Chain A
Amino acid sequence: MAIDCLVLGAGQEVGKSCAVVTIGGKRIMFDCGMHMGYLDRRRYPDFSRAAPDGDFTGALDCIVITHFHLDHVGALPYFTEVCGYRGPIYMTFPTKALAPLMLEDYRKVMVERRGEEEQFTAEHIAACMKKVIAVDLKQTVQVDSELQIRAYYAGHVIGAAMFYAKVGDSALVYTGDYNMTPDRHLGAAQIDRLHLDLLITESTYATTVRDSKYTREREFLMAVHKCVAGGGKVLIPTFALGRAQELCMLLDDYWERMNLNVPIYFSAGLTIQANMYYKMLINWTSQKVKETYVTRNPFDFKNVRNFDRSMINSPGPCVLFATPGMISGGFSLEVFKNWAPSEINLVTLPGYCVAGTIGHKLMSGKPTKIDLDKDTQIDVRCQIHQLSFSPHTDAKGIMDLVKFLSPKHVILVHGEKPKMASLKGKIESELGIPCYDPANNENVSVPSTHFVKACASDAFVRSSLSPNFKFSRRIGEYGFSHSGDTEVRPYLQVRDERVAEGIVVIEGNKAAKVIHQDELPNFLRKERHEVKFAYCFPAHSTKKNEEPDHNFTDGLQCSSRQCSLLRALLCELSKEFRQEEIQDFGEYIKVESLHVAVCSTDQCPYRVGDHPLSGRGSMFLCCSWLAGDEQLAWKLISTIKTLDLGLPL
Chain B
Amino acid sequence: MEPPSASSGERSLDPLTSFTSIPLARHNLASLRSLVINPSTPISLVTSIFEALSRHLEHGPDSLLLLPALNLLSELASRRPGLSHVVFDRVRSRLLSSESARVAAESLDAIALVAERDETLSSSLDGQFDSFFVSLCFDRSVSVRRWLLRNAERFGVRPHVLVTVFLGFTKDPYPCVREAALDGLVNLSKSSAFEDRGLVEGCYYRALELLGDVEACVRCAAIRTVCDWGHILVAFMQGTEKKEQSDAIFIQLCSMVRDMSMEVRVEAFDALGKTQTVSLKNLLQSLSKKVLGSMKENRSVCQSTGPVALSASSVAGALVHGFEDEYYEVRRSVCHSMRRLCMISSEFSIGAISLLMDMLNDDSVIVRLEALETMHHMATCDHLNLEVMHMHMFLGALVDKNELVRAAIRKILKFVKLRDRELLKLSVNGLIKNLETYPQDEVDIFSVLFHVGQRHGNFVACFINEVFHEIEPSPDGKLSFDCARVAALLVLSISAPTFAEKNVGEIPQRVFSYAVTLLGRISHAVGDITSQNALFAYLSQGSSCMEDNISEFGQQILANMGKDGAASLASNQNDLDQFPLGEASSEHKKMYARKFWQPNEESELTAKQLQIHDDITESLNGIFTKVKAVWPLVKAGFTNEVLKILRIYEEELKTLETKCTDSPALAFTLQYMRTLKFLASVWSYFHSTIGQCCRVVSQLDILLVKLERTLRDMKCRFTGLSKEDELYLLELTSVSLTLNLSKLMTGRGYVVNLKRLAAVLLQVECLQQEHGVEPSSFICELKKSMPDIHSAAGVMFSLPHFLRKMLDAFSLKQFELSRTLQNLSAEITVPDNDSENPIHFIHGLPVGIQLEITLCNISRENRLWLEMTMGKESKQFIFLDLKLFGGSNDLKKGTYFATYYKTPKAVSFTLKVCIGVECFPEEIYAGMPSGGPKRELTYLSPEREVYFSAKSQKLT
Q: Please give the residue numbers on chain A whose beta carbons come within 8 Å of chain B beta carbons, in ascending order.
A: 181-182, 184, 187-188, 190-193, 209-215, 217-218, 221-222, 225, 253-254, 256-259, 286-288, 394, 396, 399-400, 403-404, 430-431, 465-469, 471, 473, 476, 478-480, 482-483, 486, 489-496, 499
Contacts and interface: CB of A to CB of B under 8 A. Distances in A.
Given A257-B401, A471-B164, A188 B326 contact: yes
B328 interface: yes
Nearest to A432: B309
A214 B319 CA distance: 13
B303 A480 contact: yes
6 A-B pairs with the lowest CB-CB distances in the bound complex, closest first: A492-B202, A214-B358, A182-B326, A496-B171, A469-B168, A491-B201
B300 A482 contact: yes
Interface in B167-181: 167-173
Contacts of A482: 300, 303
B320 A254 contact: no
A213 B362 CA distance: 12
A122 B392 CA distance: 50
B316 A182 contact: no
Contacts of A496: 168, 171-173
Interface in B322-342: 323-328
Contacts of B326: 182, 187-188, 286-288
Interface in B349-377: 354-355, 357-359, 361, 363-364
A130 to B, nearest CB: 35
Given A184-B363, A259-B437, A491-B198, A218 B358 contact: yes
Nearest to A491: B201
Contact of B400 (A210, A257, A495): A257
B313 interface: yes
Given A212-B355, A222-B392, A471-B164, A466 B324 contact: no
28 contacts: A182-B326, A184-B363, A211-B289, A212-B323, A214-B323, A214-B355, A218-B393, A222-B392, A257-B400, A257-B402, A258-B396, A288-B364, A400-B258, A430-B309, A431-B309, A466-B138, A467-B137, A467-B169, A468-B138, A469-B171, A479-B304, A480-B303, A480-B304, A482-B300, A483-B303, A492-B198, A493-B205, A493-B206
A647 to B, nearest CB: 35
A209 B173 CA distance: 39
B139 interface: yes
B214 interface: yes
A240 to B, nearest CB: 23
Contacts of B309: 430-431
Contact of A491 (B202, B323, B358, B364): B202
A10 B895 CA distance: 110
B260 A193 contact: yes
A478 B306 contact: yes
A493 B173 contact: no
Given A469-B168, A496-B172, 20 more contacts: A212-B324, A218-B357, A218-B358, A218-B393, A222-B392, A257-B400, A257-B401, A257-B402, A288-B328, A396-B317, A399-B313, A430-B311, A466-B140, A469-B169, A479-B305, A479-B306, A482-B303, A483-B300, A491-B198, A492-B199
B894 interface: no
Contacts of B355: 212, 214
A581 to B, nearest CB: 13
Nearest to B244: A486
Nearest to B262: A287
Interface residues of B, number: 61
B102 to A, nearest CB: 15
Nearest to B329: A287
Interface string B34-65: 00000000000000000000000000000000
A205 B920 CA distance: 92
Contact of A287 (B304, B321, B327, B361): B327
Contacts of A287: 326-328
B436 to A, nearest CB: 11
Given A467-B137, A471-B168, A479-B306, A181 B260 contact: no
A212 B303 CA distance: 30
Interface centre among A193, A214, A471 (most CB of B within 10 A): A214
A499 B164 CA distance: 19
A182 B408 CA distance: 27
Given A211-B320, A400-B258, A467-B138, A494 B172 contact: no
Contact of B290 (A209, A256, A479, A490): A209
A606 to B, nearest CB: 37
Contacts of A188: 325-326
Nearest to A186: B326
A27 to B, nearest CB: 30
B518 interface: no
A218 B172 CA distance: 49
Contacts of B357: 218
B198 A473 contact: yes
A258 B323 CA distance: 21
Contacts of B139: 466
B260 A190 contact: yes
Contact of A430 (B138, B258, B288, B313): B313
Nearest to A213: B324
Contacts, number: 148
A190 B264 CA distance: 14
B546 interface: no
B758 interface: no
Nearest to B177: A467
B127 interface: no
B205 to A, nearest CB: 6
A214 B324 contact: yes
A184 B324 CA distance: 10
Contacts of B437: 259
B288 A499 contact: no
A473 B167 CA distance: 14
B856 interface: no
Contacts of A218: 357-358, 361, 392-393
Contact of B288 (A211, A257, A476, A489): A211
B324 A181 contact: yes
A592 B205 CA distance: 25
Nearest to B291: A209
Contacts of A215: 354, 358
B307 interface: yes
B260 A495 contact: no
B399 A494 contact: no
Interface string B129-147: 0000000011110000100
Contacts of B171: 467, 469, 494-496
Contacts of A181: 321, 324
Contacts of A473: 198
Contacts of B140: 465-466
Nearest to B305: A479
Nearest to A477: B307
A217 B358 contact: yes
Nearest to B213: A193
Contacts of A214: 323-324, 355, 358-359, 361
A473 B206 CA distance: 13
A491 B203 CA distance: 10
Given A222-B392, A466-B140, A496-B172, A253 B363 contact: yes
Contacts of B361: 214, 217-218, 221, 254
Nearest to B303: A483
A478 B305 CA distance: 8
B49 to A, nearest CB: 38
A294 to B, nearest CB: 14
Contacts of B289: 209-212, 394, 396
Interface string B257-279: 01110000000000000000000
Nearest to B317: A396
B206 A404 contact: no
A186 B633 CA distance: 76
Nearest to A286: B326
A494 B178 CA distance: 13
